[in-house]
């Protein structure tokens, strides 16, 4: 699988966003907002920064990617299909009975899925286990985990953050999708977790804050995270919920509503 440049990843993001809209419209359900806000980071991981091989998904030295905010799995499926884990045509089976592409990641049904997630708050704990196992086994892989800023309302996230810092899990990189919106509204109104960078630093994590849609900044932060040693690394990625589709951007109602046929056409026209 070829490794893409930052500019090529920007172009790939349009393809990924089109897949997200098309599969959610076909399913008639799902979560567009958080899938679209995560597109740049997940695309950069799969097409440049992750060490992985779709033809050998169980390679013990592969990097691990865990999507803790499992409802945003359409973006992961889109990237995996484009990488060759399964046929692109299978994206149309999202959320269908007996499909390998369920509405949240399910480990064991689809090669390349590292963890079953969707019950929010658990992904960082799972990532801790992978990172600690890598150290014990003498493996050189990195573990990347994508969290939502609404998800980190969960206390388990902060227990896991303490654990990672206490054990100096420097092969662990957490990426917070800080799009400011969760299921019931704006995060600042529901449970304000700001200032996010200062909190992660206080929990013992080396932390950077970036524009999560600036591919050059995404590339630089991921490289910095992979090179950092002696503590876990956190990227606070400031993003826009529904990014790329104007009528979905910054609108809480698009957290978990699929576009109808007319909305699909409008969204695809905007994405290009």
Spell out the domains of the chain, with CATH numbers in brackets: 6-271 (3.40.50.970)
First vs last C-alpha separation in the chain: 25
Token digits of residue 45: 């991981």
Which tens digits make up the pLDDT trace of 221-256? 999 999 999 999 999 999 999 999 999 999 999 999
pLDDT above 80 for 208: yes
Helix (H, G, I), strand (E, B) or coil at 175: strand
Tell me the pTM.
0.97
Contacts 24+ apart (CB under 8 A), 227-230: 228/170, 229/170, 230/168, 230/170
Which tens digits make up the pLDDT trace of 121-179? 999 999 999 999 999 999 999 999 999 999 999 999 999 999 999 999 999 999 999 99
Q: How much is the pLDDT for 2? A: 73
Q: How much is the pLDDT for 158? A: 98
């Amino acid at each position: 699988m070829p490794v893409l440049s930052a500019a090529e990843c920007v172009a790939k993001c349009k393809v990924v966003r089109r897949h997200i809209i098309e599969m959610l419209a076909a399913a008639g359900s799902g979560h567009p907002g958080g899938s679209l806000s995560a597109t740049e980071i997940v695309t950069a991981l799969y097409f440049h920064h992750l060490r992985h091989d779709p033809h050998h998904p169980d390679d013990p030295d592969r990097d691990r990617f865990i999507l803790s905010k499992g409802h945003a799995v359409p973006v992961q499926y889109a990237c995996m299909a484009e990488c060759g884990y399964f046929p692109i045509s299978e994206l149309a089976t999202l959320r269908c009975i007996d499909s390998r592409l369920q509405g949240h990641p399910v480990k064991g049904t689809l090669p390349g899925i590292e963890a079953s997630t969707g019950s929010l708050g658990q992904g960082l704990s799972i990532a801790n286990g992978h990172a600690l196992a890598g150290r014990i086994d003498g493996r050189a892989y990195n573990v990347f985990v994508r969290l939502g800023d609404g998800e980190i309302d969960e206390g388990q996230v902060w227990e896991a953050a303490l654990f990672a810092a206490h054990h100096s899990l420097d092969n662990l990189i957490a990426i917070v999708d800080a799009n400011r919106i969760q299921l019931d509204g704006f995060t600042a109104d529901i449970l304000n977790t700001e200032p996010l960078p200062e909190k992660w630093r206080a929990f013992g994590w080396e932390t950077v804050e970036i524009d999560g849609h600036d591919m050059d900044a995404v590339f630089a932060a991921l490289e910095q995270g992979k090179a950092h040693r002696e503590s876990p690394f956190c990227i606070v990625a400031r993003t826009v919920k529904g990014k790329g589709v104007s009528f979905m951007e910054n609108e809480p109602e698009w957290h978990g509503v699929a576009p109808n046929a007319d909305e699909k056409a409008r969204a695809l026209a905007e994405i290009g």
